[in-house]
Amino acid sequence: MDVVVIGAGAAGMMCAIEAGRRGRRVVVIDHARAPGEKIRISGGGRCNFTNRDAGPRNFLTSNPGFPISALKRFSAQDFIRRIEARGIAYHEKTLGQLFCDGSSRQVVDMLTEGLREAGAELRLATSVIGIDRTADGFELATTNGALACSSLVIATGGKSIPKMGATGFGYEIAERFGLKVQPTRPGLVPLTLEPGLLTRLAPLAGVSVEARVRHGKTSFDEGLLFTHRGLSGPAILQISSYWREGEEIEIAMAPGTDVFAQLRAARAANGRQAPSTLLAGILPKRLAQAIAEQEADGRNLADLSDKALRRIEAAVNGWRIKPVGSEGYRTAEVTLGGVDTTGLDSRSMQARDVPGLYFIGEVVDVTGWLGGYNFQWAWSSGWAAGQAV
C-alpha cells in the first residue's frame, strides 16, 4: 500500500481522495462504524462546512504563520466549488458561515463517493494495535490484519465528544515518534459559573442576548445564552477558546448603546419611570428586570443618582465575571493545542524528522473559531497532505 490514513473524518477523507486521484493506492481506516460522524452531527445536522472569509486570523495556534500555506492552496472558495459541482444547495447563515440547505449527510456522501471514485478503500470498525517504522515506511497491526505503507497519515481528530469515539490517539503517536505536543484543552465550549452567582442568575436560564464578550484584546459580537450551568451561545463559545482558568471575561449586553445617556434622558423626561422600563427597550425583558432589581432595588429613576445610573450601565455593558470552568470535552466542539507545528512542514503536513509521517486536521495545533473554520482547516490540511503522500 502507498498510503494509510488513520481517521475517516473530514481531514482524512479529503486527504485520501486527493492521494487516490494522484494514482496512489490508499486505505483509510477508522475504528468507528461509519465515516464522518462529526460531519453528520455538525451545524445542527446541516454542517457549517466552511466560512466564506476563512483566513489565518481565524485560527488559534502557537505558530500563526503555519496555516497560511494550506489555507491559500486549498481555500474556502475551492471547497465551495466542490459543493456546487456536487449540486448541494447551501446558504449563508451569518458572518460568512455556509450551511447545507438539506442535510450534513450530503457532505458525508460527497466524500465517501469521492473516495470510491478515487479508488481509495475504506475499512471501518478497524482499530490500530501497533505501528512500527520500517526501512521503507511503516507497518501497522490492526484488528483487520497487517498493513504496510510508505506514507502514514494521522487524521484522528481531537478529544472532544469522547462518547463518539474521540481519543488522544494522534497525540500519543506524535509523542512516540518524537514530535512535541502542545497542551490540549477543550475549546468552543460553554463556561460554568460559581454556585452563588449561578443561583442569582437562575431566573435568567434560557434568556439570550446579542452581546460583545471580551477577553483581553479579543472580542466577539454574537449571541450569549444564560443556562442552568452558566453561559453559552456563540459569543461565549468563541471566547472560551481564549479564556484560561482564573481569568476574567467582560460582557457588554447592549454593545454600542450609551446606557448611561439613555437612563439620564429618561430620568429628565419622566422621573417616575422604573429603570426596568427603560432597560426593557434595550435588553430582553427578564434580563432588564433582573438588572434593575439588583441595581435599583425598586426605586424609580428620579431616586437614582448619576453614580447609581453608572452602576446600572456597568451592569449592562461592563459585566466582569470569572467563570470557574468549562463544560469540558463532553460538549466542546474542538480541542485546542495538539501536534506542535514547528515539527511539521506547512506545505505538506509531513513531520520534519520522520519522513512519510503526516498529521492533518484537528489533531494539529491549529484550532478555528466557531463558524465553519474548523472544517476548512480539515479540508485545507487534508488537501495539502493529499498532494504530498
Q: Which residues bind ligand FDA (CB under 6 A)?
A: 6-12, 30-32, 37-38, 41-43, 47-48, 127-128, 155-157, 160-161, 165, 167, 169, 333-334, 361-362, 372-375, 378
At closest approach, how far in Å is the CB of 199 from ligand FDA?
29
Q: Which is nearer to ligand FDA, 4 or 283 (CB)?
A: 4
At closest approach, how far in Å is the CB of 335 from ligand FDA?
8
Do residues 76 and 55 touch, judged by C-beta distance below 8 A?
Answer: no
Query: Going by DSSP bridges, is the β-strand pair 334-339/3-6 parallel, antiparallel, or unpaired?
Result: unpaired
What is the secondary structure of 233-246 as a DSSP string? SHHHHHHHTT--TT
At closest approach, how far in Å is the CB of 82 from ligand FDA?
15
At closest approach, how far in Å is the CB of 142 from ligand FDA?
9
Q: Residue 149: which residues within 8 A CB-CB, separation 6 or more?
A: 1, 2, 3, 4, 27, 137, 138, 140
For residue 123 the three cell numbers come to 475499512
The 10 Å Cβ neighbour count of residue 315 is: 18
Q: Which is nearer to ligand FDA, 100 or 201 (CB)?
A: 100
- The one-letter code for the residue type at 370 is L
Which residue's CB comes closest to ligand FDA?
9
At closest approach, how far in Å is the CB of 189 from ligand FDA?
10
Q: Which is nearer to ligand FDA, 10 or 120 (CB)?
A: 10
What is the secondary structure of 275-314 as a DSSP string? HHHHHTTTS-HHHHHHHHHHHHTT--GGG--HHHHHHHHH
At closest approach, how far in Å is the CB of 287 from ligand FDA?
27
Q: Which is nearer to ligand FDA, 102 or 255 (CB)?
A: 102
For residue 23 the three cell numbers come to 494514482
Q: How far is CA 39 from CA 46, 169, 291, 353, in A?
A: 9, 20, 40, 32
Q: Which is nearer to ligand FDA, 164 or 202 (CB)?
A: 164
Q: Which is nearer to ligand FDA, 175 or 258 (CB)?
A: 175
